[in-house]
Structure 1
Amino acid sequence: MNKWLLGLVLLLSYGCVGIGNLAGVQVKAYEGPDKPVSELALLLGGPLEVQGLGYVTLAEVDNKVYGNELKGYPDQLLVTPGKHQVKIKCMLGMDYGFLLLDVEVKANSRYRLSCQRALGNTATAQIKELNATDQS
């Protein structure tokens, strides 16, 4: 089942925008001891398929920040099932902005977060549940 949520944000224009050194790193975004992957949901950012020079990283879950502007933000977060507020960093060419999404995720599932340019200097964000045959 696909879930699409839309967010709207102004894209800010600042010189060079880098991804940082947390790309490809899977980060635990919950408190307590490690849990089996079957009890968690995986949120995925990464390169955008539609707009060549785009990338999504995952900056925050439930007001807890993972990374920073200097070292970057991860593009993979493990979260517990349920409702979460996720802040993504949407990079489109030389423009970037942060978008908030309210999401509900299930255990043992993967979700792709993406963004795309909208009207003017705005962007929309989406979340899509991936099935077993989708590439991560």
Structure 2
Amino acid sequence: MLSRQLKTKKKHETWFRFAGKPVRFSIREFAIVTGLPCGKFPQKSKMKLKAKIAEQPYWPCLFGKVEVATVSSVIKMLYRKTVNRDIRIGYACLALLESVLLPTSLNMKISRDHVEAIKDLDAFFRFLGDE
């Protein structure tokens, strides 16, 4: 489908050719098909932002001193079963985010922003379930 994609100036929609005809697939259709919340991100209060600045990054808790982690390395960590349940759930969420829901690169590197998003798994799951 993406190999037959047409160029467009609109940010939140994709046009592609199907049976010789142009077809639109927008963020609205994506939300309907997947059931995922595709609205605006909830605004963060200034108090939460100040608290986040003071917090330590979550990356070292998951990956130690490793600077770059990939989805394949996370899946290998899941197979080893050497960490506790919460960290394993975090690894699984990262693998899904980076490979299926929000792939950011072809070699599927784990984004530090996504690692911080899964730090609070309850808030992460609430965000996915909102709508």
TM-score by length of 2: 0.23
Larger radius of gyration: 2
Q: Which structure carries more strand by proportion? A: 1
Q: Which structure carries more helix by proportion? A: 2
TM-score by length of 1: 0.22
